[in-house]
């Protein structure tokens, strides 16, 4: 073969090889771009599908979540109801087995179903009657003091005079060994009272506790009633002492009815 014919062929072959190499490099670069584009598309599609799937799962899971919340609320309501009942029973047990044991008084728990507080002759109605052991001439107390006294009884209810009644007085003692007088409502406030007829020779200090004296057949002795306050001299012979009651008559619900088992026997001596 002549040299003139070989040289052009070699040049053509070299150019072909260079073009092939360039094509391969270009194809390789294009493949990376295509692969990147395809990957992005796949990821976007997968994200859309995953998000839709998650929303569907959450939707169906919502019913289960709501059911669980409903059951939890029901359980909490059950526990709250049980706690309230336990508190009510604790109050009742306290009144049944408290400081009044072995005093000769029958003690019956009751609940106030009606109370008046806006007159000078207030009253209470209790949800216990003679079928529950309630008797007339019984006292009504709480842990905070004296509430009133039973006046009439039906089968299932009892009518009582409230201590906030202008016609009611309680025999009370100033301190543990002080003078005895009559405790009456001050006629104005839900926690105000006046201890009357305390002889001047009995000294006291504001802040001393006032107790039931035990001289009444209706109430056991030594029930704390309130705290003594300011005083004034009446007719130069006795003190009248303001008393801040422990019992708030604006907040009475559970009470105890106390009846002196010796009431009728003792009454025979004074008739």
Q: What is the pLDDT of residues 155-191, one digit of tens each?
A: 999 999 999 999 999 999 998 788 899 999 998 888 8
Q: By C-alpha distance, which of 145, 188, 153 is closest to 170?
A: 145
Predicted confidence (pLDDT) at residue 23 exceeds the cutoff of 70: no
- Rounded distance between C-alpha atoms, residue 98 and residue 110, angstroms: 15
Tokens of 244: 């801040």
Supply φ then ψ for residue 66, to 5 degrees: -65, -40
pTM (2 d.p.): 0.62
Q: Report the Cα 166 to chain-centroid distance in Å.
A: 33
Predicted confidence (pLDDT) at residue 64 exceeds the cutoff of 90: no
* Superfamily covering domain 105-270: Rod shape-determining protein MreC, domain 1 (2.40.10.340)
* Torsion of Cα atoms, 107 then 109 then 113 then 114, to 10°: 30
CB within 8 A of 243, min separation 6: which ones?
A: 183, 192, 193, 194, 195, 210, 225, 226, 227, 228, 229
Q: What is the DSSP-derived secondary structure letter of residue 208?
A: P
pLDDT for 41: 55
Q: What are 141-163's pLDDT values in tens digits?
A: 988 899 999 999 999 999 999 99
* Sign of CA pseudo-dihedral 242, 247, 252, 256: negative
98-121 as b/e, with b when 16 or more CB fall inside 10 Å? eebeebebebbbbebeebeeeeee
Q: What is the DSSP-derived secondary structure letter of residue 132?
A: G
- Rounded distance between C-alpha atoms, residue 149 and residue 137, angstroms: 7
From residue 40, give the alpha-carbon distance in Å to each of 29, 44, 51.
17, 6, 16
């Amino acid at each position: 073969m002549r040299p003139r014919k070989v040289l052009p062929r070699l040049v053509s072959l070299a150019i072909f090889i260079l073009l092939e190499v360039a094509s391969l490099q270009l194809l390789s670069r294009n493949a990376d771009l295509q692969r990147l584009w395809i990957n992005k598309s796949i990821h976007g599609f997968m994200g859309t599908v995953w998000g839709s799937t998650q929303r569907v799962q959450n939707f169906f899971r919502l019913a289960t979540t709501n059911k669980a919340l409903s059951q939890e609320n029901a359980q909490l309501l059950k526990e709250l109801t049980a706690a309230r009942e336990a508190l009510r029973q604790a109050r009742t047990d306290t009144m049944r087995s408290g400081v009044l044991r072995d005093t000769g008084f029958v003690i019956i728990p009751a609940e106030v179903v009606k109370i008046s507080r806006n007159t000078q002759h207030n009253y209470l109605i209790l949800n216990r009657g003679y079928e529950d052991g309630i008797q007339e001439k019984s006292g009504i107390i709480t842990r905070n003091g004296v509430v009133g006294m039973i006046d009439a009884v039906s089968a299932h209810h009892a009518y009582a005079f409230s201590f906030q009644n202008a016609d009611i007085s309680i025999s009370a003692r100033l301190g543990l060994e002080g003078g005895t007088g009559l405790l009456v409502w001050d006629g104005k406030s839900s926690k105000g009272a006046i201890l009357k007829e305390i002889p001047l020779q009995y000294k006291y200090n504001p802040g001393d506790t006032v107790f039931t004296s035990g001289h009444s057949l209706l109430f056991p002795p030594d029930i704390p009633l309130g705290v003594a306050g300011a005083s004034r001299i009446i007719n130069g012979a006795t003190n009248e002492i303001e008393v801040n009651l422990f019992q708030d008559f604006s907040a009475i619900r559970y009470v105890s009815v106390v009846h002196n088992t010796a009431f009728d026997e003792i009454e025979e001596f004074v008739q």
